[in-house]
Structure 1
Amino acid sequence: MEETRRPRLAWKIFKLFLVVLLVAFIAAAGGVAYVWNELQPPHKGEMVSFTIPAGTSSRDIADTLETKGIVKNGSFFWLYLKYKGEGARFQAGEYEMTPGMTLNEVIGKLNRGETVKEETIHFTVPEGYTLEQVAKKLEEQNAVSATAFLQLADKPPTALSEVLAGPLPTDNQVRHKLEGYLFPETYEMKKGSTAEDIMERMAEELKNKLSAIPDFDSRLKARGLTLHELLTVASLVEKESAVKEESPMIAGVIYNRLKAKMRLEIDATVQYALPEYKERLFEADLKTESPYNTYLHDGLPPGPIANPGLDSIEAALSPKDSKYLFYVTKKDGSRTHLFAETYEQHLKNIEESKKTAK
């Protein structure tokens, strides 16, 4: 009797095991099906926009994607990223995605940084432009108001000092405090940038250019100049030299005249002093009273008369040694100069230049 009961009990236990096994299998299958379903793309919908700030973790990105309807389940998407070894290369920025994209498509877009292209403005500031010319150009390109730009250039905000290459002049004779401190270059900036944004970008560019010049600080100190004085000399070179190769020679003449206590007598400083540019200066113009008029005043003008390019800055930093004190522009269209050590030779060069006039 006991032996008959044992097979029956064993059979019941076996059937119970089968039931438990079946239930476990069904549960596992259901779990797999659930996970698989949660990893499927949501139904297609309208495009949505979202921003991923710099430094956002992959877990937070997954939650954002769930909130925006790009993935069904942020937690499972994050686990999927861990399984695939993804998430570390995701790039910050503003994105546009459409619900219905596969997970791999979403991952690929984030890895490539396929962000929304912001509307931008492009503008080019030629070398030798004055701040007033820069302001006018920006207004013509509908970037900012010329008036607002110049007002800010006269009274720069405190925050701007952090990106400037050096301290601004305190001399109240300086026409525009930022003259010479905004680097001439081609720029691309976000549409809607303010006058302050543009100034900061241009000032930062000058700082970057100067820091890239080998031994800049020590060379400036060896020349016995402040940054403001260097930029002033560079602006004179920029206006006087139309040929790059002559810039160091013209810088040398400027330093020679300063050393000899001679007035610079540079026409470009008179042009800066005048209310409007003139194609030709007359004797009366040379008598215009202004601290910038180097025909009337000794030494350098109070500040730069334009925003110099890198070639002019480097020429002012490393002028060519010579005994020249004078130069005159050739009239042959080459825009090069004839140089002289004496005034007598200078007069001869003037006559020689006239003979080559076209």
Structure 2
Amino acid sequence: MAVLFRDFITMEEISLDRSDQQPVNEKPVKNRNRSAGPSRGRITFWVIVSILGFFILLAASALFYVWNGLRPASQGEARQVELKKGMSPFKFAETLEAEGIIRDSFLFKYYLRLKDEGPRFQAGVYALNPGMDKDTIITVLNAGETLKKETIRFTIPEGFTIEQIADTLSKAGYVDKEAFLKLADTDRSWGDAEAARGIPKDKPSLKHRLEGYLFPETYELEKDSQPEAIIIRMLMELDHKLDSLPENWEEPMLERGIDFHALMTIASLVEREVVVDEERPIVAGIIYNRLDKGMPLQIDASVQYALPAPKERLLEEDTKVDSPYNTYRVKGMPPGPIASPSLKSIEAALFPEDTDYLYYVTKKDGSHEHLFGRTLKEHNRNIAKSKESAKQGGANNGN
């Protein structure tokens, strides 16, 4: 009995021990073995929230970068910045950033693209303040509100020779006279100046190569402009004045069988001989008439140019000077211009008055007008009249 009871107890203990174990083939009880971490749905939720947060933060950072990069830079004193000719607006944006005018050139470039700005920017030196609004900067660059540079100003009167021009510039302290003349005598091209290309290369007898081509005018150039820049500016002014002539103005010149260099030579003779504008076409016509007849021009102004120094009054011996510019000894025209002609003299050489005059003499009454003659006999009478008027003028002055 005791043995059976002990065995019963033992079996019961064994049964109790196995009661805590889950049968092998028995389905697991729900939630009994669930892990302690968050559920899969909750994990997905937080992943999505994190990604959205990241993109929101990224977008906010980008917006802040753009806002900060395009807002005005810190205030400061005006700075001079140069937009050089040919420089792209995008390259200039880098200059603006380097000078502290804008914060970010990269963003400024894209702002220019967005607004379709930049192509109208004008070259020059600008005074821009750090702290200027980007649209204000664009407006200033489009308007070309550049700094006015310190300049030099000089006037070359009509009829000046190139030596007189060099002397004027030298006395003003702008050039060295001898260096200027040497440069002007150089056989070379002068930038975009077109008229000067008509100077013959086979004219060794030219006293000064650019004589007559430096247009007489009042000029204003940047301070410290080099002699080359001054010469080019004056040559370009001649081109500009020629553009104001009637269309096809070269045709009368070609019909007469002369080139542009010869035209400028005749215009310079007219310039030095005539003061009254109305008489310029008449004197130009006389020059053509004498050339057509093979007569020497006998123009006093050409003799003056041939002399070492001009004289107040020419003597007969002066007309014998050995020079290709002496139109008393040499038939035809001198090798080139003897001075810088005005536009009116150029027009007179282009469109001379059709007359049969062959002679002219200056009135000696102070009017600067001329008496014109068709024959030598008539010319001599005019000379006598001129002398008589001079005597009368002297008597009147004495009274």
TM-score normalised over the length of structure 2 = 0.78
2:273 corresponds to which letter in structure 1? E
State the shift of 1:23 in Å. 6.9
Pick the aligned partner of 1:269 from 302, 305, 308: 302
Structure 1 residue 281 and structure 2 residue 314: aligned? yes
Pick the aligned partner of 1:187 from 194, 219, 235: 219
Q: Does the Cα contact within 8 Å between 2:193 and 2:239 map onto a contact in 1?
A: no
2:379 corresponds to which letter in structure 1? H
State the shift of 1:223 in Å. 0.5
Equivalent in the alignment of 1:136: 167
Q: Does the Cα contact within 8 Å between 1:165 and 1:206 map onto a contact in 2?
A: no
Pick the aligned partner of 1:209 from 232, 235, 241: 241
Equivalent in the alignment of 1:200: 232
SS at match of 1:284: helix
Q: Does the Cα contact within 8 Å between 2:286 and 2:357 map onto a contact in 1?
A: yes
> Distance between the aligned counterparts of 2:115 and 2:335, measured in 1?
64
Q: Does the Cα contact within 8 Å between 1:165 and 1:203 map onto a contact in 2?
A: no
- Mean alpha-carbon deviation: is it higher for 180-189 or for 206-215? 206-215
- Mean alpha-carbon deviation: is it higher for 204-213 or for 338-347? 204-213
Pick the aligned partner of 2:75 from 39, 44, 51: 44
2:368 corresponds to which letter in structure 1? R
Structure 1 residue 243 and structure 2 residue 273: aligned? no
The structure-2 alpha-carbon separation of the partners of 1:168 and 1:149, relative to structure 1 and needing over 3 Å to count, comes to farther
SS at match of 1:36: helix
> Distance between the aligned counterparts of 1:83 and 1:276, measured in 2?
67
Structure 2 counterparts to residues 224-235 of structure 1, below 5 A: 224-235=257-268
Pick the aligned partner of 2:97 from 66, 74, 77: 66
> Distance between the aligned counterparts of 2:190 and 2:201, measured in 1?
16
Task: Give the number of the structure whose alpha-carbon radius of gyration is greater.
Answer: 2
Equivalent in the alignment of 1:219: 252
TM-score normalised over the length of structure 1 = 0.86
The structure-2 alpha-carbon separation of the partners of 1:199 and 1:24, relative to structure 1 and needing over 3 Å to count, comes to closer
2:205 corresponds to which letter in structure 1? Q
The structure-2 alpha-carbon separation of the partners of 1:109 and 1:262, relative to structure 1 and needing over 3 Å to count, comes to same
Equivalent in the alignment of 1:315: 348
State the shift of 1:320 in Å. 0.9
Structure 1 residue 291 and structure 2 residue 285: aligned? no
State the shift of 1:38 in Å. 2.6
Over residues 264-302 of structure 1, what are the superposed CA-to-partner deviations in whole Å (9 max), with x where a residue is unaligned? 221111111222221112223223332222222222222
State the shift of 1:130 in Å. 0.7
> Distance between the aligned counterparts of 1:314 and 1:186, measured in 2?
20
Pick the aligned partner of 1:77 from 108, 115, 125: 108
2:256 corresponds to which letter in structure 1? R
Q: Does the Cα contact within 8 Å between 2:192 and 2:236 map onto a contact in 1?
A: no
The structure-2 alpha-carbon separation of the partners of 1:351 and 1:21, relative to structure 1 and needing over 3 Å to count, comes to same
State the shift of 1:169 in Å. 4.8
Q: Does the Cα contact within 8 Å between 2:325 and 2:334 map onto a contact in 1?
A: yes
State the shift of 1:120 in Å. 2.4
State the shift of 1:199 in Å. 2.0
- Mean alpha-carbon deviation: is it higher for 97-106 or for 249-258? 97-106
Q: Does the Cα contact within 8 Å between 1:165 and 1:207 map onto a contact in 2?
A: no
Pick the aligned partner of 2:187 from 156, 166, 175: 156
SS at match of 2:80: strand
Structure 1 residue 339 and structure 2 residue 365: aligned? no
State the shift of 1:13 in Å. 8.2
- Mean alpha-carbon deviation: is it higher for 21-30 or for 281-290? 21-30
Q: Which runs of 5+ in 2 are unaligned?
A: 1-29, 32-38, 394-399
Pick the aligned partner of 2:125 from 94, 98, 108: 94
Over residues 196-240 of structure 1, what are the superposed CA-to-partner deviations in whole Å (9 max), with x where a residue is unaligned? 222222223323433553323332221011222222111111111
The structure-2 alpha-carbon separation of the partners of 1:103 and 1:351, relative to structure 1 and needing over 3 Å to count, comes to same
> Distance between the aligned counterparts of 2:189 and 2:124, measured in 1?
29
1:277 corresponds to which letter in structure 2? P
> Distance between the aligned counterparts of 2:200 and 2:158, measured in 1?
20
Over residues 89-124 of structure 1, what are the superposed CA-to-partner deviations in whole Å (9 max), with x where a residue is unaligned? 322223232212222222222222222333322222
Aligned alpha-carbon RMSD (Å) = 2.9
- Mean alpha-carbon deviation: is it higher for 323-332 or for 211-220? 211-220
Over residues 311-335 of structure 1, what are the superposed CA-to-partner deviations in whole Å (9 max), with x where a residue is unaligned? 1112112211111111111122221
> Distance between the aligned counterparts of 2:65 and 2:350, measured in 1?
72
Give me the identity figure in percent: 48
2:300 corresponds to which letter in structure 1? D
SS at match of 1:224: coil
Equivalent in the alignment of 1:170: 202
Equivalent in the alignment of 1:5: none
